[in-house]
Amino acid sequence: MTRPSPGREIHFAGRVIIFLEGDESDSIYQLVDGIVMLYKLMPDGRRQIIELLRTGDLFGFSPAAIHECSAESLVAGTCIAFKRSDLARSPALAQRLNEHIQTQMCAMHDHAILLGRKTAMERVATFLMRWVPGRGGYQCLAHAPSPECAEIRLKMTRHEIADYLGLTIETVSRCLSKLKRRGAIAIDHPDEITIKDVCRMCLLTGTEATCER
């Protein structure tokens, strides 16, 4: 018999609100499967999508008993909820979270440089690279062999992409169109994009100075 799980499993469908900014909260969540986005709204309605969470990522942080941002699923998945009070009691749990939070903080740092310093085209290129398996995450293994081509499937609307990248829908659309015209991508479907040359796309992100090939 296994020990009782220290957390409660929560299954969610795609496009479902997990919690809203201002909701009461006594738990922290770890994403097991699926994709979740965190966002905040300004009083006048401007939205910024703050994090796109991957497997292992933690969310629901707050120094207070109230959520400081909203969480919504992009695709169906699962997360585990840990009561904050349990967290304070279980060293093993705390350890586990500590290990992962480092990666996540680094990803936030990368996103800060994107929002603060990258051009629209660099943002879109960075975003596309994010969906190439093994690339575009924090510590993207730029040297790992990757196929020239990559078919990716965006799980977000143009509106969500824009709110994630700090742009408008129109700018996102224009950048994608320009990439298509240049032959860098094919837009097979609004949410199905083929990157013709992954290595060249990586150069457009502004992060990589040279192409290792």
Partner DNA sequence: CGGACACTTGAATAGGGTCAAATTCTGTGG
Partner DNA sequence: CCACAGAATTTGACCCTATTCAAGTGTCCG
Contacting positions for DNA (CB under 7 A):
119-121, 157-159, 166-174, 176-177, 187, 189-191
Q: For residues 77 and 74, what is the distance between their CA atoms, to the nearest angstrom?
A: 9
Site for a copy of itself in 153-192 (CB under 8 A): 163, 165-166
The residues with which 10 forms a beta bridge, in sequence order, are: 79
Q: For residues 38 and 111, what is the distance between their CA atoms, to the nearest angstrom?
A: 13
49 vs 74, beta carbon nearer a copy of itself: 49
Minimum CB–partner distance for residue 48 and a copy of itself (Å):
4
First to last CA, the chain: 52
Within 8 A by CB and 6+ apart from 94, the residues are 87, 88
Minimum CB–partner distance for residue 32 and DNA (Å):
26
* Among 121, 139, 133, CA closest to 184: 121
45 vs 183, beta carbon nearer a copy of itself: 45
DSSP state of 140: -
* Among 97, 95, 69, CA closest to 81: 97
Minimum CB–partner distance for residue 156 and DNA (Å):
8
Site for a copy of itself in 28-47 (CB under 8 A): 38, 40, 42-44, 46-47
The binding site for a copy of itself (CB under 8 A) comprises 38, 40, 42-44, 46-48, 50-51, 61-64, 68-69, 87-88, 91, 94-95, 97-98, 101-103, 105-106, 108-113, 115-118, 138-139, 163, 165-166, 206-209
